[in-house]
Structure 1
Amino acid sequence: MSKGLNMVNIKFAIASLSLVFGSILPVAHAQQGPQKGLPVVELGAGMHLIHAEVARTEEQRAIGLMNRKEMPANAGMLFVFEQAGVQCFWMKNTLIPLSIAFVGDDGSIVNIDEMQALSEASHCSAKPVRYVLEMNQGWFSKRALKAGTKLRGGPWPK
């Protein structure tokens, strides 16, 4: 009887593992290409408009702009976190160089950094923030936008 129970347990374990790996593999496969289908919000920075995809879930934030070969000039990605914290980003599997703006709860840019494609260097907010905006590299500096600039149209109070 004990052999029968062990065999049942082994078969159950194998079936469970196949269910688990079966559900993980499609997600891993989906991460090989760019993330699609995220909602888009229109933001304002001075007289400039931004069309930012919004990454709200942990999975969306983890994938971010990975595996994209290009991004339109005024497009970006807004990362939204549940609570403020020191947010750190890297560029592993990100093919295009980006500028990153860490944004406070009121929509003001806290700090901006430049990130190189495929780099594992960390880029962190100068203080706890809930929002992070990634744009093509140089986007903020070309428009003379810097720390203290207030963004419009996002999830922060108007």
Structure 2
Amino acid sequence: MNYRVFFALIFMLPFCVQAQQWQVPEPQEFDTTQVCLGDLSQPLTVELADTQEQHARGLMQRESLGKYNGMWFRYGQERPGYSGFWMYQTLIPLDIAYLDKNRRIVKTFTMRPCGSNDPNNCRSYSPGKRYWSVLEVNAGFFAEHDIRTGDQLNKSPDGNCESAKENNNNEK
């Protein structure tokens, strides 16, 4: 092998690997469920992001999200407060809520799309507090519905937010 070609290949390898690192993850299938948040009387229909592949894809490249729709990222263990979310390849502005083990909001942000093709130029939204799951909905949803730190996300298998609150109180 020609040594110039060999060294050129060795030199280019890190750039090829780095370029491959930033590819948009493949589209994923998501199960859905209904949840209630804070004092909302209407449930949210959320897609469940439970796998690493689903976490990586999230709401990337979506052009819209229904008014009472969102995505719930669930993790099998507590996440550190420096581990945040970004808006790389996400086209719509979102509200994000970081939730503790009891599904209480510990931190919220309104996130704006990152227009850069270089993910290094995209802001990371880190809560600074440990969390177990994350809820994303359309930007402005939290302000419109007075959702705040301390509010709780409750599962609502029957689509009724009053019974979801009662079931959660009975679990304690």
TM-score range, shorter chain: 0.7 to 0.9
* Match runs of 1:36-75 below 5 Å: 36-45=28-37, 46=39, 47-75=41-69
Measured in 1, the distance between the counterparts of 2:24 and 2:143 equals 36
Counterparts of residues 36-115 of structure 1 (less than 5 Å):
36-45=28-37, 46=39, 47-85=41-79, 86=81, 87-115=83-111
Cα separation, 1, equivalents of 2:65 and 2:28: 13
What amino acid does structure 2 have at the position aligned with 1:149? D
Q: How many residues align?
A: 127
Superposition pairs for residues 25-44 of structure 1, below 5 Å? 31=26, 35-44=27-36
Is this contact kept in 2: 1:100–1:112, CA < 8 A? yes
Q: Confirm or deny that 1:140 pairs with 2:142.
A: yes
* Structure 2 residue ranges without an equivalent (≥5): 1-22, 116-121, 157-167
Output the TM-score relative to the length of structure 2: 0.68
Structure 1 vs Structure 2: percent identity of aligned residues?
29
- The runs of 5 or more residues in structure 1 that have no matched partner are 1-27
One-letter code aligned to 2:75 = F
Decide which of 129, 139, 153 is 1:151's aligned counterpart.
Answer: 153
Normalised TM-score (structure 1): 0.74
Structure 1 distance, partners of 2:25, 2:92, is 19
Note closer, same or farther for the CA distance 1:147–1:69 as it changes in structure 2 (3 Å cut). same
CA distance in 2, matches of 1:128, 1:30: 26
2:24 and 2:89 mapped to 1: Cα distance?
14
Would you say the 8 A contact 1:110–1:126 is kept in 2?
no
Point out 4+ residue stretches in structure 1 off by more than 2 angstroms. 28-31
Looking at structure 1, the residues matched to 25 and 123 of structure 2 have their Cα atoms a distance apart, in angstroms, of 25
State the Cα RMSD in Å. 2.1
Give the letter aligned to residue 72 of structure 2.
Answer: L
- Cα deviation code 1:77-102 (max 9, x no counterpart): 00011211123000000000000000
Larger relative contact order (CA 8 Å, sep ≥ 6): 2
Q: 1:126 to 1:116 in 2, by over 3 A?
A: same
Tell me if structure 1 keeps the 8 A contact 2:25–2:56.
no
| Distance in 2 (alpha carbons) for counterparts of 1:68 and 1:117 | 11
SS in 2 for 1:48: coil
Distance 1:95 1:142 in 2: 21
